[in-house]
Amino acid sequence: MSDVATRLDVLKTYKLYVGGKFPRSESGRVYEVTDAKGEWLANAPLGTRKDTRDAVLAARAAVKGWAGTTAYNRGQVLYRVAEMLQGRREQFAAEVAVSEGIGPKKAAALVDAAIDRWVWYAGWTDKVAQIAGGANPVAGPYFNLSTPEPTGVVGIVAPQAGYGHSLLGLVSVIAPAIATGNTVVVAAAADAPLPALSLGEVLATSDVPGGVVNIISGRTADIAPTLASHQDVNALDLTGAIASDGPGAAPALEAAAADTLKRVVRPELDPFAQDWTNAPGTDRLLSFLETKTVWHPMGI
């Protein structure tokens, strides 16, 4: 009989990411996260409507400071996220591999693409005003200038299915919203929340102010309707919502959002058809911006 005792691994306790902190769900409940073969991976916190409302409060409190940060400084913060994610590349590759049931090489490629996506959006923070604003010609002795401003708090139903959805898809919906000065509350992929919850740890060490990004795991049918109907959420990204019936489906969420005149980004008809490795373009950067137009007399 061996004298060397068998060491037990320290299992990771996954938590929500709200207001720059890591609370457990207010319900105290968790749910099992399994791999592609149905084998247990971890327990994730089962976020509730109360958790979602708390996250909206945190996001609202962070709007003024984050929107008031210079575009150049926001770019530095997003670049810092890429740096920290690069430092934890192996961990995220392992989580993506087991979450999506893919090989280690494909998973590593997806993590690299997610890192690059943070860098790409970091480069846009001080340039988007050049394509979304400008000086407008008017018939009179006036300057007429249009400038983009962030919409405010954006509720995001993260991609829930498809290749690359657990991390690259998640980054692809978070980064453009915060690059332009918005704050976000994200409903993570219910089937693959581990990369999203680990991303909260990266954000907490990347100079991203608390409340700018808030990540909730759990049932999309519980979290998404709260975001859609909440009067302090200004816009809604339904990328991960399904186009069928039910409380967490796109039609019901759009109807709830209409009561408070939210901007809405509609989902793909087939979530599995979304290829997150494609170049992102500027559509998402422009989706959550408002245009402020100022008139000013010439010569004054």
The model's pLDDT over 195-204, given as tens digits with 9 standing for 90+, comes to: 999 999 999 9
**What's the CATH number for 30-297?**
3.40.605.10
For residue 3, what pLDDT band results from cuts at 50, 70 and 90? low
Residue ranges per structural domain of the chain: 30-297
Between CA 154 and CA 2 the distance in angstroms is 57
Q: Which range (51-60, 145-154, 186-195, 265-274) has the least confidence?
A: 265-274
For residues 3-14, average pLDDT = 81
pLDDT, tens digit, 9 for 90 and up, residues 150-186:
999 999 999 998 889 999 999 999 999 999 999 999 9
What is the pLDDT averaged over residues 142-149? 85
Q: Residue 25 pLDDT > 90, yes or no?
A: yes
Evaluate if residue 128 carries a pLDDT over 80.
yes
